[in-house]
Structure 1
Amino acid sequence: MDVRQLSTLVAIADHGTFSAAARSLYTVQSNVSAHINRLEKELGVILVDRAHGGLTEEGARVVERARRVLNEIDDIAADMASRHEDVSGQTRLGVIGTTARWLLPQMLSRLGRDHPGIRAVIQEGATSALVPNVLSGQLNAAIVHLPIDDPELVIEPLFAEDLFLLADEKHPLASRDTIPLRDLDQVPLLLPPMGSALRKVLERAAVNADITLRAQAEIDGVRLLASLAFDGFGAAIVPATAVPTWLKGSFVRISVPELPRRVVAFVRRRRPSPSAPTTAALEILQDLIQLNGHKQPGVHPGTSAIAPARGD
């Protein structure tokens, strides 16, 4: 088993066919076939379903580990290339969409200026999708929101942000600037799905207030939640960064004092240690949040990331 064989199998997983994998690897299809045949012979299993296309169950399991191996090799090369002042190499970062919208343009600009040798590969997604990719090694780290409870992860809070009720100006609640959480008992709301990090925060607050949150619909994705509220489909509880500072329209933000702040954090695997490019990216993120976080309405950098609920 060698790196070329693993790279070839991953390319087939990513591109679907032997011919497409060959093009992505800048080689010919016969080389792709030869690498896969040798890997299958060595492992004693069929990895690629030639009849129907795609990977077999065994192939998918091997690809999962192969990605981790290949990423670790990249990180080794990045660390060795960054032994001195100039940091170079690749960092693979995940980020939730609401944070990406205001923070990534600043981070990528600063990263390109301070460390031109670093290449950032960004994956946007929900916390529930990003955390498994960090644990599997597909991502070096991710910006997600808490709560997360996994002993394999190092969690470094970045900032906290207020949660509020977002509604179209024609919604029955739109005339109110502030609403107690108890007044939302059994009110139809657009909510994140059960089990998601944000829903856990909301359900905990509801239990403390002795109310029941009623889902008009469950929407997986904070930006989609906000968009539906903008369009008048219903009221949604969203974090502050779900509403960009530049956005104008016929909507209102309604304060719910008993809601806690949502904590956004940088997470990475406990072992191995983060690569030099990943460490550089984290340092830039922390610096930018301290410098500019207060410019984002409802964002609280620094120690306020672990502040109690506003109603306490």
Structure 2
Amino acid sequence: MSVTLRQLTYFVALAEAGHFGRAAAQAHISQPALSLQIKELESQLQVPLVERLPREIRLTRAGTEVLTRARRILAEVDDLGQAVRWREGLSGRLHLGVIPTVAPYLLPAALTRIRARDLTLELRVREAQTDALLDGLRAGQLDAALVALPVAADWFVTEPLFEDRFLLAGSDRRVKAWAEDVEQLRPTELSADQLLLLEEGHCLADQALDVCGLTGRGQVDLGASSLSTLCGLVSEGFGLTLLPELAVRVEAAAFDRLALARFEAPEPSRHLALVRRASSSDDGWLHDLGELFREAAEPLLMEARRACP
């Protein structure tokens, strides 16, 4: 049997695209050439891997198993290359993933520091929700991802970064009225019908429900796709939300009607970390990258604590 890495790469591309034409375009080869590689792979394995339908392909049971193993093999090969790339610390090429509730606030300052450290670093950044980033790490498409803990998997090693506390955000009238109605400002005093959340899939929405002791969303669910949309809604009186300190500088400047209040101790928060595959090589580059993110975050967090003491 002589299965090649090229065949596995093309098969993963086909499985992810779900169509020979789209997969060929993404792989920058002709459709007949891609089809030939898949047929040769099926011949080598002596089993059909895909069902060829008129407008799409569907993986067979064997194809699903091969896809899992192919991603694992390609990730290991990428780790082999990474071991060489990182032999002098943070240098070479970096594919980085960042969750959407961090990217617009932290990346501008962090990327400036990363490029200042090494102008030759080839940097690629992907913004996506946590599950998609972890899938990208497993598949070898990313070297590291910035996510909120916990990350429940044996695949990963974490580099803790910093604590990002949550503030209560809303219109001035709503925030003052809520503060007057409760003895202490605690997130557990919020009801599901008061709280606006990001759309499902965002870890911040799950964290907000958890710290507020809620099991589900309210009857009126205006789930937003970004924190900026959420802040725009609550600043106009549509409920209340939890805003990370990391986002205060940008969102407070964008919405002059946005009011903030700090919860009583212990304050609700999230803990952010960099994550890499446990199988990947690390001679200090992940820690170095973490230091740059911590440096970029410090003035944002301090500004939020001055703005809302």
Structure 1 position 12, deviation (Å): 2.3
- For the 8 Å contact 1:92–1:141, the answer to whether it is kept is yes
Partner of 1:67: 71
Deviates more, 1:60-69 or 1:142-151: 60-69
- For the 8 Å contact 1:96–1:144, the answer to whether it is kept is yes
Partner of 2:298: 293
SS in 2 for 1:162: strand
Partner of 1:37: 39
Q: State the TM-score, normalizing by the size of structure 2.
A: 0.75
Partner of 1:262: 270
* 1:184 lines up with 2:190 in the alignment: yes
Work out the CA distance in 2 between the residues paired with 1:163 and 1:248. Answer: 18
Aligned pairs (5 A) from 1:199-238: 201-202=207-208, 205-206=211-212, 215=218, 216-217=220-221, 219=223, 223=227, 224-238=229-243
Work out the CA distance in 1 between the residues paired with 2:150 and 2:89. Answer: 36
Partner of 1:310: none
- For the 8 Å contact 2:248–2:304, the answer to whether it is kept is no
Deviates more, 1:217-226 or 1:7-16: 217-226
SS in 2 for 1:97: coil
- For the 8 Å contact 2:161–2:294, the answer to whether it is kept is yes
Work out the CA distance in 2 between the residues paired with 1:186 and 1:31. Answer: 54
Q: Which of 118, 121, 124 is residue 118 of structure 1 equivalent to?
A: 121
Work out the CA distance in 1 between the residues paired with 2:73 and 2:107. Answer: 28
Q: State the TM-score, normalizing by the size of structure 1.
A: 0.75
Q: Which of 4, 7, 10 is residue 5 of structure 1 equivalent to?
A: 7
Work out the CA distance in 1 between the residues paired with 2:128 and 2:102. Answer: 11
When residues 280 and 241 of structure 1 are mapped into structure 2, their CA distance, relative to the original with a 3 A threshold, is same
Amino acid corresponding to residue 264 of structure 2 in structure 1: P
* 1:101 lines up with 2:104 in the alignment: yes
When residues 102 and 202 of structure 1 are mapped into structure 2, their CA distance, relative to the original with a 3 A threshold, is closer
Work out the CA distance in 2 between the residues paired with 1:30 and 1:213. Answer: 50
Work out the CA distance in 2 between the residues paired with 1:24 and 1:57. Answer: 22
- For the 8 Å contact 1:96–1:126, the answer to whether it is kept is yes
Work out the CA distance in 1 between the residues paired with 2:215 and 2:37. Answer: 57
SS in 1 for 2:264: coil
Partner of 1:306: none
Work out the CA distance in 1 between the residues paired with 2:153 and 2:90. Answer: 33
Q: Which of 171, 179, 182 is residue 174 of structure 2 equivalent to?
A: 171
Deviates more, 1:181-190 or 1:96-105: 181-190
Amino acid corresponding to residue 74 of structure 1 in structure 2: D
Structure 1 position 55, deviation (Å): 3.5
Work out the CA distance in 1 between the residues paired with 2:25 and 2:134. Answer: 31
Unaligned runs of 5+ in 1: 301-312
When residues 38 and 239 of structure 1 are mapped into structure 2, their CA distance, relative to the original with a 3 A threshold, is same
User: Cα RMSD between the aligned structures?
Assistant: 3.7
Work out the CA distance in 1 between the residues paired with 2:200 and 2:27. Answer: 41
- For the 8 Å contact 1:95–1:142, the answer to whether it is kept is yes
* 1:283 lines up with 2:288 in the alignment: yes
Structure 1 position 288, deviation (Å): 4.2
Aligned pairs (5 A) from 1:44-55: 44-52=46-54, 53-55=56-58
Unaligned runs of 5+ in 2: none
SS in 1 for 2:43: helix
When residues 72 and 235 of structure 1 are mapped into structure 2, their CA distance, relative to the original with a 3 A threshold, is same
SS in 2 for 1:159: strand
Amino acid corresponding to residue 190 of structure 1 in structure 2: L
When residues 68 and 123 of structure 1 are mapped into structure 2, their CA distance, relative to the original with a 3 A threshold, is farther
- For the 8 Å contact 1:174–1:254, the answer to whether it is kept is no
When residues 295 and 236 of structure 1 are mapped into structure 2, their CA distance, relative to the original with a 3 A threshold, is closer
Partner of 1:27: 29
Amino acid corresponding to residue 3 of structure 1 in structure 2: L
Percentage of matched positions with identical amino acids: 29
